[in-house]
Each structure stands twice: as C-alpha cells, then as structure tokens.
A and B are shown apart, each in its own frame.
Chain A
Amino acid sequence: MSEHGTTHDEVSRAATGTLPQRFDDPGLPPHVPRQADHDESAAKRAERQVAVMFGLSIVSTVAFLVAYFAVDQRSTVFFPGIGSTNAYHLVLGVTLALSLLMIGLGAVHWAKTLMPDHEVVEERHPLRSSDEDREHAVATILDGGDAAQLPRRNMIKYSLGGALGLFSLPLVLQVAGSLGPTNVSELAETLWDIPTEGKHAGKPIRLMRDPQNTPIKAEEVAIGSVFHVLPESLDWHKEENVEAGRAEWKGVLDEKAKAAVILVRLDPKDFVSTKARDWGYQGIVAYSKICTHVGCPVGLYEQKTHNLLCPCHQSTFDVTRDCEVVFGPAKRALPQLKITVDADGYLVAPEGFKEPVGPSYWER
C-alpha cells in the first residue's frame, strides 16, 4: 500500500473491473512508542509521578486517622460553593477520597506510561461444542435415566412427580397463610365513626388541631384559612392503649393515616354544591385529607381558587364543588366529613365518613 491509501494496483484493477467487492482489512496499525518507551528520563519521571500519587494516598490516610480523633464532631466550616458545612464530615470525606483516588490515579498512570502498550491478539473459538460432545451429553443423560430404570418404573415416576410438585406447598402456605391479617373491611372505618360502646359512646367527636391537639371554635376559623385536623378520639385510642397495657403509640399512625382531615372556611356564597355547604357549618367544611388517588395527604390549599392540591401527583380538588377532581390522576372526590358545633361552640363531627377514605380498592 502506498501512503495515498490506494495502490496503483487497485486503480488499474478498477479499470479492468477486477476489484473485490469489499476492502481488505489492513491489519493492526504499526505500534507508536511512547516517550517513556525510549527515553529513560521520561520513564524515571513517570515513576516519580506514580510514587508521588501513592505517597499522597498515604498522607491522606494518615490525615484521616488523625482527623477522626482530633477534629470536633460538631464544628462547622465554610467551604466555597457549598457554604457552612460540618467540618468533621468534610475532613473525613475529603481525606478518605484522596487516599482512594491517589491509589487509583497512580495505578492507572503507571499502566499508561510504563506497562507494555503493545496490543495483543487473542483468537476466538466457536462457543458451541462439537457434535460428538453434544451427542455424548445427551447420551449420558438418557443412559443415566435408563440406568435408573426411569422409563419403565412408572410408579416411581408419577409418585416422585407428585411429591416434587407438592412439597413447596407447606412453605408457600406458611408464608401466605401467616402474612395476614385479612380484616380489610377496617379500611372503611375511621376514628370519626361514633363509638357505640365504652365511655365515649354516642358522643360527637371534636375536631382537634394537628399537631397542637386543641379543639377549634367556629369563630376561630377565618374565611380563607385552613386547619389540619385530627379526631379527638385519637386521644381515646391512646388512653385505651395505656389501659390495656399496650404501648401508648400502638396503632396511632395507622389511625392517623385514615382520619386526617383538612378544614377550610369559605364564604357560603362561594359554594356551587349545596351538599358541600349543608354538611358544613357557616361555610366551614371538612374533607378527608387522604388523597383518593394513592393516599398522600392533600396538604396544599389555594385560597384564591378554593382548590386543594395533592403534592404527590397533583390531583386537584375543588372545595366549592364538593371536592370534585378538577385536574390530575385521581377520579373520586374527597369524602366530606359532616360537621357542626357542640354546646361549647367547638366544631364536632356528629357522624363518621359515609364512604371509605383514601385510595381506591376493588371492593370499596
């Protein structure tokens, strides 16, 4: 080949129409030596560079060990671009990083400058076994089966099949049967349901501020304001826990996850849905805070549009229209909690939700 890339041969063969269909592989290009391959001082320099990097790693490791004991765990330091940060964490992290990085960079530099860079060619071999080997393998399996008399011992064959088919059932049953419980009907119950027995039986349940846990007077709720609410019965639940000798907090989050309610006050004229207004008290309405999509708390209220927004997937509910979905992936309106005031002027719920709260499920 000439350095032009095309031999005169090729050109003349083209003229006579004898050129091959494809180009020929020219083979590996000639090796280009590196500086360190022929210049001993360059090689020495590379060696020094590698040694410096490994040395820096040692220094960083020692620095980590010292810092672990010497630096105060609570001290902060200003780091440009990041701001005030924990000095202990920063020093440990940076020294560890340098101790590791310098080993890696040193090794790679060593490989690139001093280790052989002649490319090596290794041949591939077809992956498939030879036909004899394949036949031999099949024969071995078949002969083995024959030797065990598998083809003619039908009783063994079928009983073994049955045994192997069934043996996993106890294991599956143990797990599946014990994962329970199966009382999924409690998905439809919340702490807003009026107790039918016990010392609080038949009593309307007060709406309590979350997290202050104080009752709310109707006149404290200004138009446009929003309250996060939990039922007074959450306290009763804790009392029952203590009386029954359970941990006070047992099941509290489970109940909260269904009972959380959001309370807003609108000008009664703003309601489009009369049901929404009628279930409220002087424009104060309470809705389940658990999104009907997948159950995140619908925590954001936009005063101007009277919309409630779920921050997880942006389902938007219009309070004036009984919390119908106006945007987003949810389908159902948020369930409304009927409220009124008790003799002391506190907001109460005289009855529980009329439908299950939270995400949809098949039998709801």
Chain B
Amino acid sequence: MSTAAAPRGAAPRGAAALRTDDPAVRPEPTGTVKKLGGLAGWVDDRTGVAKGAGHMLKKVFPDHWSFMLGEIAMYSMIICLLTGVFLTFWFVPSMGEVPYDGSYIPLQGVQMSEAYKTTLDISFDIRGGLLIRQIHHWAALMFVVAVMVHMFRVFFTGAFRKPREINWVIGTVLSLLSIVEGFAGYSLPDDLLSGTGIRAAEGFMQSIPIVGSYVAYFLFGGPFPGEAIIPRFYTAHVLIIPAILIGLFTAHLLLVMVHKHTQYPGPGRTNSNVVGFPLMPVYMAKAGGFFFIVFGAIALVSALFTINPIWAYGPYDPSPVTAGSQPDWYMLFADGGLRLLPGWLEIPIFKWTLSLNVAIGALLLIPVMYTLIGIYPFLEAWVTGDKREHHLLDRPRNAPVRTALGAAFIAEYFVLAMAGVNDILAIKFHLAINSITRALQLLFFVLPVIVFWVTKRLCLSLQRADRNLVLHGRETGNIYRSADGEFTEIHEPLDPYRRWTLVQHEVGTPLALGSTKDANGVESPLSKKARRRARWSQFYFRDSVAPVTPAELAAAHHHGEHDALPSAESATHVGPSEH
C-alpha cells in the first residue's frame, strides 16, 4: 500500500492548466495502488501511514522454534481476552446467596452464591458456554506456562543483555501479573476448591505483622468470606490487571520492534545484522497461521479434557473441605513453600504473634523471587563488566555459570512445586507425607547446589566436545586399516559453516584479584569493592573453555597427518580421535 511512491498526476489540461502553481489535487494512482483499492489511499491521505507501513512490512525476523514461545504466550493472552469477554455476558460476580434452579440435577435446591450459580449456568445452560469457559481456563494455563518457558529461553540464551534489560524487567512484571491474574480468575466461580484458596489467602493477609487483621478486613470488607471479595477480584481480573497486562505487553512488543529480534549465532549472522524472513508475506502467514494453530490446539484440548469441573466441587462453604486441595499449577510453588516452612517460625512477642511460618511463604516468597529475576541482567552486567550491545544469542553451554544458575533456579522451583503436591505424592507412591516433606525440606537447600554443579560441568563438557568436533571433525564411522594392521576411524572435517557456529563465541576473562590496599598501603574500601567484584567475576569465568583458534586447528591437522591416509587426495582428513 505504498502511495508515497506514486508519481505526481499527469500535466493539468484545460481550465486547470491556468493555475499551474497549484499542487496536483488528485495524483493519478499507479497500478499497484489501484489494485489495493481506494481505501488504503484514503487512509494514507489522512494518516500518512504508508511510509511506516511499508517499512514495517519489510521488517526481518529470524527463524527459530524457540522464538515461537513468546508468540504462544501472546496468542494465549488474546484468546483469554476474547473468551473472557464472552464469559462476562453471563457471569454475575455476586456473593449473594441464591438457591440453584438450573439444569444440573445434583445441585438443585442447594444454597449457593450467585457467582457459583452463574458459573454453573455457563457450564450447563448456555449453549457452548462450557466450551468457552474451558478454552478460557486452558488458554490461561497455556499463557502462564508459555510466559515461563519463554523467560527460560530468554534467560538461557542471554537475550536479556544490553540493550534488552528494560524488556526483561517488563517481561518479569508480565509474568508476575499472569499468575496473579490466574489466581484471581480461578477464584471467581466461588466453588469449594477455589474458596478454600481464598480462605488461605485471607490467612496470608492476617499474617502481615501489626496490620494483618486490618488488611484482611479492608480487602474482604469485614470478616471472611463476607460478600465483597468476589466482586473485588472480578474488578481486578477483568479490568485492572488486564489493562496493565495489555499496556506492558504493548510496550514489550514495541521494544522488540525497536531492538530488532535477537538471533542465534551462525554463519552470516553477526551482532550488527538480522538474518531471516520479512514480515510480509512470510511471517504474516507463519505468525498469523500460528495464532490459529494455538487457538485450535487449545480448543481441541478444551473439547477433550475437562479442566476445573466446578460442579463436582460444590459451592463454597467454610466447613467442608476436600482432600487433595491444590491450586492451579503455577501457584503450586508458593503453596509448596508454605508446606515446607516449619511451625517454629511463628514467634510470640509479648502478647503479640509474628507468624513468619506463613509470612515468609505467602508474602515474601513471590516478591523476592520476582525481584531476583528482574535484577538478574544488572547483576550479570556488573559482574562481567560488559557494556556492549548484544544481539547475538549465547548458546547456553557457552555461558556455563549463567546456565547453571538458571538450572538451579528451576530445581528450586521444582522442589517447591513438588512440596505443593506432597499429599498427592504420598498417595500415589504410598509414602509417608512426613518423610516426603522432610526430604523436600532437605532438597530445598541441597538440590540447587547439586544441579548448579552438574549443569556447569555438563556445559563445560559440551564445550570441550565442541572443541573436539572442530579439531578432529565428525566421526564418519568408516574404519581404515593400515598396512601394519592399525585401525583408525576416518574423521571428516567440519565445513566452515558448521564450524563457525562452534567457534564464533567469545570467552569472558575473569577480573584479576587486586590488592585490598591502595597505592599508599592504606586499606581502601574502593579496592575492597573491586575485589568483591573480581571474586564474582572469577566465579563466572574461572573455568571458561576457549573456542578453537585457527592455529589450534592447523596444529591438530598437522598432528593428524602423522597417521594420515596414504592417499593425499582423499576427501577426508584423518586424525586420532583423542589427543
């Protein structure tokens, strides 16, 4: 729709020719513009959008499956917004008690909140309502998981480095909001399971030192459960949080446009270019099509697998409870934290009570975790002292300490999530819940350390394997037997394209530990700081494995030539498999 490229109209004739100074009012459209029809021209006349649009549509995106994770998150969110609007047409966020008169026979006549009743109506009496509800819930689960896995991709490839730190922070907030939004959402039906979750949430608020009972009374509008919490969650769920989500998500995308997408290292891919396919037509089709694939897949899952069958739980009542009360998966880690914290953390102070056994897990865990995630890029930049822009991704093995830190985080998260299902584990594996909990308490401290060490060693081994591959080539599986009976496997050198991927990275060097004294031999706080930084730098880069240099490769070839094949014309280089 490039009208900007249209030439001026033909020379004016007749009366119009008398006023040749006037600008041409209606330039003759060229063939292409005509094809797109008058609408595009009409819009451009009023917005001048064509120039920017032409530029945008030619924008290049690199291709990789892992870049679709963020897309899945984006599309799941859009599906949630769409289906959520549908649900608001029938859902009534009221805690007023009404008797059920709908078509689900087991609950007929039962007293329940209007929120629960209208959720039953959506599930049983609105045509296709259950499908929309199920798509909404599955898409929400997909949203949270896609955000998380997308974050893993960004973390492990170092995509958060300069200039993308702001976008990492925005993404971190989006991730936090996604789980808050999810919690608010699954609380709305006011069924027994989610009501028990709100019951616990009220307990969390009460554990705030000094003002806890007031905070709980303020948010619940009085004693638990009251009649205010569902309407208030509803406002948060359909208005406040989505508004912030959409705002931040828009900023997130704009920054992706501004920064241009990162790309994986490879031949021809440098820190100062983007190699890929243009938005029009390739990504229009691929990304647009992918929206339908995500939507279709979620619809299929929703058709086949029931999620959150609230009719089976019954309306919320503070007295009954079901065994196996679990929140949605993304809240398991927080719930697990509560299960692992020991009771002695509740400390009486004179006549007051400080419930750290609740507060640490319920109030501190999530903010602390997300703060650590959010500031990680700045911590790493401080340790490495790296102020350059990075547009080329790291292969995770080439940043062993970062990769190991990420893996340790996942291990910790996994321990907490397992603690959140400790009762299910006890039943499924016929183990005592006490021993599972004790074991997880131990693992909370031990597993991240083990995982860190193992992951780092794995990364270093993979780097050495890369070196080997570059130096000695690919094992062909062809065994050559020399005249004196020695067997040698023929190695085929890598082609330069494949080799480049394995040797392109740079290796950081640890800062040297300086003296704690300044030039005059006086203890200096400044150099102490520098030493601390140097120690972290050592921690990061101590065991770096440098990529193969041309000299090393040449030396390896030279070395290999001792047992080279008799035929110098052979298309393969031969070398010993190990030095």
Residues of A within 8 A of B (CB): 1, 3-6, 10-11, 13-15, 17, 19-23, 25-29, 68, 73-74, 79, 82, 86, 88-90, 92-94, 96-108, 110-112, 115-117, 119-124, 126-127, 176, 179-184, 186-187, 210-211, 228, 230, 247, 249, 252-254, 256-258, 260, 289-290, 293-297, 299-300, 311-315, 325, 327-332, 358-364
Docked CA distance A25–B322 (Å): 62
Asked if residues A362 and B353 are in contact (CB atoms below 8 Å), the reply is yes
Asked if residues A26 and B352 are in contact (CB atoms below 8 Å), the reply is no
What residues of chain B lie closer than 8 Å to A3, measured between beta carbons? 495, 571
Chain A residue nearest in CB terms to B202: A295
Q: Per-residue CB proximity of B203-246 to A under 8 Å, as 1/0?
A: 11011111111101111011111100000000000000000000
Asked if residues B299 and A10 are in contact (CB atoms below 8 Å), the reply is no
A279 to B: closest C-beta gap in Å: 22
Q: Beyond A103-B289, A256-B319, A359-B355: 14 further Cβ-contacts under 8 Å? A: A23-B500, A27-B268, A97-B302, A98-B300, A106-B289, A108-B290, A122-B60, A124-B260, A253-B317, A312-B321, A329-B343, A359-B203, A359-B358, A362-B210
What residues of chain B lie closer than 8 Å to A6, measured between beta carbons? 493, 553-554, 557, 573
Docked CA distance A244–B378 (Å): 62
- Given A22-B503, A104-B289, A314-B422, decide whether A294 and B362 contact each other with a Cβ distance below 8 A: yes
- Given A295-B202, A297-B319, A297-B320, decide whether A22 and B550 contact each other with a Cβ distance below 8 A: yes
B292 to A: closest C-beta gap in Å: 3
Asked if residues A256 and B318 are in contact (CB atoms below 8 Å), the reply is yes
Asked if residues A293 and B214 are in contact (CB atoms below 8 Å), the reply is no
Asked if residues B292 and A312 are in contact (CB atoms below 8 Å), the reply is no
Asked if residues B272 and A29 are in contact (CB atoms below 8 Å), the reply is no
A187 to B: closest C-beta gap in Å: 6
- Given A105-B293, A122-B260, A254-B224, decide whether A29 and B288 contact each other with a Cβ distance below 8 A: no
Asked if residues B357 and A331 are in contact (CB atoms below 8 Å), the reply is yes
Chain A residue nearest in CB terms to B285: A111
What residues of chain B lie closer than 8 Å to A253, measured between beta carbons? 225, 316-318
Asked if residues B358 and A294 are in contact (CB atoms below 8 Å), the reply is yes
Chain A residue nearest in CB terms to B359: A360
Asked if residues B389 and A176 are in contact (CB atoms below 8 Å), the reply is no
What residues of chain B lie closer than 8 Å to A27, measured between beta carbons? 267-268
What residues of chain A lie closer than 8 Å to B290, measured between beta carbons? 104, 108
What residues of chain A lie closer than 8 Å to B270, measured between beta carbons? 25
What residues of chain B lie closer than 8 Å to A290, measured between beta carbons? 318
Asked if residues B206 and A313 are in contact (CB atoms below 8 Å), the reply is no
Asked if residues A25 and B499 are in contact (CB atoms below 8 Å), the reply is no
Q: Per-residue CB proximity of B519-542 to A under 8 Å, as 1/0?
A: 000000000000000000000000
Q: Per-residue CB proximity of B303-328 to A under 8 Å, as 1/0?
A: 11100000000001111111111000
Enumerate 27 A-B pairs (CB-CB under 8 Å) in ascending A order: A1-B496, A4-B493, A6-B493, A19-B554, A21-B549, A25-B500, A25-B504, A82-B305, A100-B296, A101-B297, A102-B296, A110-B285, A116-B277, A117-B277, A121-B268, A127-B259, A289-B319, A296-B325, A297-B196, A297-B318, A312-B200, A314-B422, A328-B339, A328-B437, A329-B343, A359-B358, A361-B213
A222 to B: closest C-beta gap in Å: 22
B563 to A: closest C-beta gap in Å: 17
What residues of chain B lie closer than 8 Å to A299, measured between beta carbons? 320-321, 323
Chain B residue nearest in CB terms to A53: B289
Interface membership of B67, Cβ < 8 A: no
Asked if residues B223 and A254 are in contact (CB atoms below 8 Å), the reply is yes
The contact of A358 among B203, B210, B362, B549, by CB within 8 Å, is B203
Docked CA distance A295–B354 (Å): 16
Interface membership of B50, Cβ < 8 A: no
Asked if residues B131 and A96 are in contact (CB atoms below 8 Å), the reply is yes
What residues of chain B lie closer than 8 Å to A110, measured between beta carbons? 285, 289
Docked CA distance A11–B551 (Å): 8
Asked if residues B554 and A93 are in contact (CB atoms below 8 Å), the reply is no
What residues of chain A lie closer than 8 Å to B196, measured between beta carbons? 296-297, 312
How many of chain B's residues have a CB under 8 angstroms from any CB in A?
Answer: 129
Chain A residue nearest in CB terms to B555: A14
Asked if residues B343 and A330 are in contact (CB atoms below 8 Å), the reply is yes
- Given A313-B339, A362-B211, decide whether A19 and B321 contact each other with a Cβ distance below 8 A: no
The contact of A119 among B275, B342, B355, by CB within 8 Å, is B275
Give the most central of B60, B127, B203, B208: most A CB within 10 Å: B203
Asked if residues A90 and B304 are in contact (CB atoms below 8 Å), the reply is yes
What residues of chain A lie closer than 8 Å to B271, measured between beta carbons? 124
Docked CA distance A13–B571 (Å): 21
Asked if residues A331 and B344 are in contact (CB atoms below 8 Å), the reply is yes
What residues of chain B lie closer than 8 Å to A180, measured between beta carbons? 217-218, 221-222
Chain B residue nearest in CB terms to A99: B296
| Chain B, 266-281, CB within 8 A of any chain A CB | 267-268, 270-278, 281
What residues of chain A lie closer than 8 Å to B495, measured between beta carbons? 3, 5
Interface membership of B466, Cβ < 8 A: no
Asked if residues B558 and A14 are in contact (CB atoms below 8 Å), the reply is yes
B1 to A: closest C-beta gap in Å: 19
What residues of chain B lie closer than 8 Å to A297, measured between beta carbons? 196, 318-321
Asked if residues B343 and A260 are in contact (CB atoms below 8 Å), the reply is no
Asked if residues A101 and B293 are in contact (CB atoms below 8 Å), the reply is yes
What residues of chain A lie closer than 8 Å to B181, measured between beta carbons? none
Docked CA distance A79–B305 (Å): 11
Asked if residues A363 and B352 are in contact (CB atoms below 8 Å), the reply is yes
Asked if residues A361 and B281 are in contact (CB atoms below 8 Å), the reply is no
The contact of B200 among A1, A28, A86, A295, by CB within 8 Å, is A295
What residues of chain A lie closer than 8 Å to B320, measured between beta carbons? 210, 228, 297, 299
What residues of chain A lie closer than 8 Å to B222, measured between beta carbons? 180-181, 254
The contact of A360 among B111, B206, B555, by CB within 8 Å, is B206
What residues of chain B lie closer than 8 Å to A210, measured between beta carbons? 319-320
Asked if residues B318 and A257 are in contact (CB atoms below 8 Å), the reply is yes
What residues of chain B lie closer than 8 Å to A23, measured between beta carbons? 496, 499-500, 503-504, 548-550
Asked if residues A26 and B267 are in contact (CB atoms below 8 Å), the reply is yes
A262 to B: closest C-beta gap in Å: 10
What residues of chain B lie closer than 8 Å to A122, measured between beta carbons? 59-60, 260, 273-275
What residues of chain A lie closer than 8 Å to B543, measured between beta carbons? none
The contact of B550 among A14, A88, A254, by CB within 8 Å, is A14
Asked if residues B212 and A361 are in contact (CB atoms below 8 Å), the reply is yes
What residues of chain B lie closer than 8 Å to A14, measured between beta carbons? 550-551, 554-555, 558
The contact of B496 among A5, A17, A93, A99, by CB within 8 Å, is A5
Asked if residues B296 and A101 are in contact (CB atoms below 8 Å), the reply is yes
Give the most central of A74, A111, A228: most B CB within 10 Å: A111
Interface membership of B154, Cβ < 8 A: no
Docked CA distance A299–B288 (Å): 50
Chain A residue nearest in CB terms to B302: A93
Give the most central of B134, B267, B551: most A CB within 10 Å: B551
